[in-house]
Amino acid sequence: MSIAADTTTLARQVLVTKTAQRPWTGRLLRRSGSWSLGLTLPLLLPLAILGAWQSASTWHWISPQILPAPAVVWGTLVDLTASGDITTNLGISALRVLYGFLIGGIAGLVLGLAMGLSPTVRAYLYPTFNAISLVPALGWIPLLMMFVGIGETLKIIIIAKATLVPIAIAAVQGIRNIPENYFEVGSVFRFSRWQVVRYIVLPAAVPSLFNGVRQGLNHAWLALVVVELLASSEGIGYLMVWGRQLFQLDVVIATMIVIGAVGLLLDQGLQFAESRLLRWRRSAY
């Protein structure tokens, strides 16, 4: 082992010297990992975009009807927040996502676990499930509108369906991809069916399930925007439609920023939860 390790280190050293001898590209590469540049670089592009946007409005390259100045958008964002328009509508939207996500998430989990654990359930349900999941949420909207109208039910069903599909698929695949080896270990220790599920299936499927939940939340948020754009009189998506109809692009862009910020928050939150929950995946090297 020690000999092998030595040769690898030696090889590394040779390579490192080689890169060091290379002209400036190598050095710049390593320096870009340093603190100051590491923090500055990501800010350059947004600043450039902002600069271009500002100049476009300062020198009237583009009509403010089509692209309002950054300051105007910022002002609108502040105004809409102060007047409560954003918070109220965001609250309504958040509630819709929450209900739809909970209903769809739980249903998807139950369905996915059932299909993953039982070949019989899978044989009966999977083809139909697959067919239903193939039609995008957008396809179901007109049909559902005729059954349940354009009220709250429609929105929650659409969001729930958008959540259900990725979570159920993740559960099925997570379970089916568990190595047969693990089940043999369970049988060596004489695990009951329940113990197999509790100590092998669930923990082994967690990474896949987490992916499913992340995707589910992502799709839920996407579906919310779709239904609110299409049929709504309140909610963050509606705010956007309203701005568009009045040709107030500052409102549209301000709402886009809010939608992006919420999406970012959700994503980061889940990433954090994942890294906490799946600490065992972090390896030593």
Contacting another protein within 129-148 (CB under 8 A): 131, 134-136, 138-140, 142-143, 145-147
200 binds another protein (CB under 8 A): yes
By the rule CB under 8 A, 125 interacts with another protein: yes
53 binds another protein (CB under 8 A): no
Note the Cα 88 to chain centre separation in Å: 23
Chain-centre distance for alpha carbon 261: 12
- Site membership for another protein, residue 191 (CB under 8 A): yes
Q: How far apart are CA 222 and CA 263, in angstroms?
A: 9
Candidates 203, 272, 273, 275; binder of another protein (CB under 8 A) is: 203
Nearer to another protein, 102 or 266 (CB): 266
Task: Pick the closest to residue 221 from 163, 271, 181, 169 (CA basis).
Answer: 163
Instruction: Give the span between the Cα atoms of 200 and 203, in whole angstroms.
Output: 6
Shortest separation between residue 284's beta carbon and another protein, angstroms: 4
Helix axes 249-277, 85-117, angle to 10 degrees: 40
- Stretch in the footprint of another protein (CB under 8 A) among 51-59, 109-117, 119-127, 161-169: 119-127
User: How many residues of this chain bind another protein (CB under 8 A)?
Assistant: 87
d(CA 178, CA 34): 41
Query: How does DSSP classify residue 62?
Result: S
Complex with another protein: residue 113 or 240, whichever CB lies closer: 240
Q: Of 207-266, which residues contact another protein (CB under 8 A)?
A: 221-222, 224-226, 229-230, 237, 240-241, 243-244, 247, 249, 252-253, 255-256, 259-264
Longest dimension (CA), the chain: 77
Residues 15-34 that bind another protein (CB under 8 A): 15, 18-19, 28-29, 32-33
The least distance separating another protein from the CB of residue 57, rounded to whole angstroms, comes to 15
The set of residues, in sequence order, having a beta carbon less than 8 Å from that of 212 and lying 6+ positions away, is: 108, 112, 166, 167, 168, 169, 170, 171, 174
1 belongs to the binding site for another protein (CB under 8 A): yes
Work out whether 38 is an interface residue with another protein (CB under 8 A): yes
Q: Which helix (H) or strand (E) holds 234?
A: none
CB of 2 to another protein, least distance (A): 8
Q: How far is the CB of 195 from another protein (least distance, A)?
A: 6
CB 249 within 8 A of CB 53: no
| Residue in 24, 35, 59, 280 binding another protein, rule: CB under 8 A | 280
Rounded CA-CA distance 94/183 in Å is 41
Q: What six digits make up the tokens of 108?
A: 């998807």
Task: For the CB of residue 163, give the shortest distance to another protein in the complex, in Å.
Answer: 14
Interface characters, 72-101, with another protein (x: CB under 8 A): ------------------------------
Please state the closest distance from residue 79 (CB atom) to another protein, in A: 19
The tokens describing 135, both together, are 């039609």
Q: How far apart are alpha carbons 249 and 260 in whole angstroms? A: 16
